[in-house]
Amino acid sequence: MRNLLITLAYDGANYHGWQIQENALTVQEVFQGALTKVTGGGEDIKACSRTDTGVHARQFAVSLKTESLIPPERLPSALNRYLPPDIAVKSCREVPLDFHARYSCLGKEYGYEIWNHPLRDPFLHGRALHYWYLIDEGLLNEAASHYIGAHDFTSFCTQDQREMGDMVRTVTTAKVERQGDKVIFTVAADGFLYNMVRIMVGTLLRVQQGKLSPSDIPGILEAKDRRAAGPTAPACGLYLNRVFYDERSRDHGQAR
């Protein structure tokens, strides 16, 4: 029995998120179908996270225990043979048996992309938020800096049965920068609440609109009230950029 860590990337525009649902096509369903064709099936897949409908991933991690004898370095090509063009396995390596894609995760980095131009770009439909008024990225970067640190992010969470208990998360990076006509919000933390990044973006856009100022962010955090923050930005601009694990999981099996 081996435990494998598989990373994949996907365009989420055509899927109802990662996790299997009834009567809706998801990334997990498609991935498991390809895995069954390669290994014969039966593996219990552990995912690093759940992405919602329309959210994308540049690096998504899953772990699974398998008795398949296929070498890890050959598994990506074998899986990609059965995956559609908008999902691709990027790597596979052996990890310790106690490794878990979700519970061994030390943190994640997300990016949110905004197409900031008066005219829409058809090639970015479903892949970036179109915001046609000029964005002051310096102003939004000042506002985003208040997200950094350990805070109770209740105001930045759509609460349901998934979010119970401790709402404190430690944000290590929060910045807004411009790349041509794209404005990108990048945020890294030890964990994220449901819709947290999208509400962060919606709040930043309220700052852009003059309805909030950067100095209002600490008060919104202290309020611990979803009504204090801005709206939830659309899913189309959200990307899971990176998933962070420790050295033990990265190095296991690579020296053999």
Instruction: For 223-241, give the DSSP string.
Output: HT-GGGS-PPPPGGGEEEE
Domain boundary among 62, 85, 104: 104
Q: Express each pLDDT in 169-206 by its tens digit.
A: 999 999 999 999 999 999 999 999 999 999 999 999 99
Task: Read off the CATH number of the domain in which 128 is found.
Answer: 3.30.70.660
Q: Are residues 61 and 116 in the same domain?
A: no
What residues are annotated to the active site?
Answer: 52
* Number of domains observed in the structure of the chain: 2
pLDDT exceeds 50 at position 255: no
**pLDDT tier, 41 (very low <50, low <70, confident <90, very high otherwise):** confident
The per-residue pLDDT for 165 is 80
Helix (H, G, I), strand (E, B) or coil at 111: strand
Average pLDDT over residues 116-135: 97
Q: Are residues 145 and 46 in the same domain?
A: no
What the block records as the tokens of 110 is 């997300």
In contact, 191 and 108? CB cutoff 8 Å: yes
Q: Are residues 119 and 47 in the same domain?
A: no
Whether residue 251 is contained in a domain is answered as: no
Domain that holds residue 135: 107-241
Q: Are residues 113 and 73 in the same domain?
A: no
Domain boundary among 70, 104, 138: 104
Which residues are CB-contacts of 171 (< 8 A; sequence separation ≥ 6)?
147, 148, 149, 150, 151, 187, 188, 189
Domain boundary among 74, 104, 134: 104
* Whole-number Cα distances in Å, 136 to 185, 230, 239, 245: 12, 17, 22, 34
Q: Are residues 138 and 223 in the same domain?
A: yes
Helix (H, G, I), strand (E, B) or coil at 207: helix
**pLDDT tier, 231 (very low <50, low <70, confident <90, very high otherwise):** very high
pLDDT exceeds 80 at position 154: yes
> Against a cut of 0.85, is the pTM above it?
yes
Task: Read off the CATH number of the domain in which 17 is found.
Answer: 3.30.70.580
Q: Express each pLDDT in 7-17 by its tens digit.
A: 999 999 999 99
Average pLDDT over residues 109-124: 97
**pLDDT tier, 161 (very low <50, low <70, confident <90, very high otherwise):** low
**pLDDT tier, 25 (very low <50, low <70, confident <90, very high otherwise):** very high
What the block records as the tokens of 53 is 């409908």
pLDDT exceeds 90 at position 65: yes
The per-residue pLDDT for 254 is 38
The per-residue pLDDT for 119 is 97
